[in-house]
Amino acid sequence: MHEKVANCRRDFLHKRSRELVDSYDAIVIEDLNMKTMSQCLNLGKSVSDNAWGMFTTFLKYKLENEGKLLVKVDKWFPSSKTCHYCGEINKELELSDKEWTCSACGCTIDRDYNASKNIRDEGLRLLALIA
């Protein structure tokens, strides 16, 4: 049973990474430490199984095989705390805050959407440095 689940997961990660590598010339990810994260958030074994680590490994070698790039944004980059619209940093942001309002520009911000925009922009900035 455990082997079947593991194979199923690996298969999914291979397919999803292939789709992404076929669709993009560069992929930007946050360089997360999932072991620390699962301990901090009490997410349990499912996250510490490290599917994310496997996924990023698949992404990296598939991209490199095609001369494409995996860009890792530093784990200390404040992707969630920075307002994507104006650049203000919300020092009060808590892990439980899924949405917040920027004190500088007043925009209502979805945590994950905002973080993804900031990670993309930081990745583009890093790509420009090596181009």
Chain contacts with Zn ion (rule: CB under 5 A) = 83, 85-86, 88, 102, 104-105
Tell me the closest approach of the beta carbon of residue 38 to Zn ion, in angstroms.
31
Considering the complex, state which of residue 102 and residue 115 has its C-beta at the smaller distance from Zn ion: 102
Considering the complex, state which of residue 11 and residue 97 has its C-beta at the smaller distance from Zn ion: 97
Our CA angle for 46, 69, 50, nearest 5°, is 10
Considering the complex, state which of residue 60 and residue 81 has its C-beta at the smaller distance from Zn ion: 81
Up-side HSE of residue 60: CA atoms within 13 Å toward CB? 10
Tell me the closest approach of the beta carbon of residue 111 to Zn ion, in angstroms.
14
Considering the complex, state which of residue 56 and residue 118 has its C-beta at the smaller distance from Zn ion: 118
Contact 63, 22 (CB under 8 A): no
- The span from the CA of 28 to the CA of 26, in Å, is 7
Tell me the closest approach of the beta carbon of residue 125 to Zn ion, in angstroms.
19
Tell me the closest approach of the beta carbon of residue 92 to Zn ion, in angstroms.
14
- The span from the CA of 64 to the CA of 58, in Å, is 10
DSSP letter (8 states) at residue 129: H
Three-state secondary-structure class, residue 100:
strand
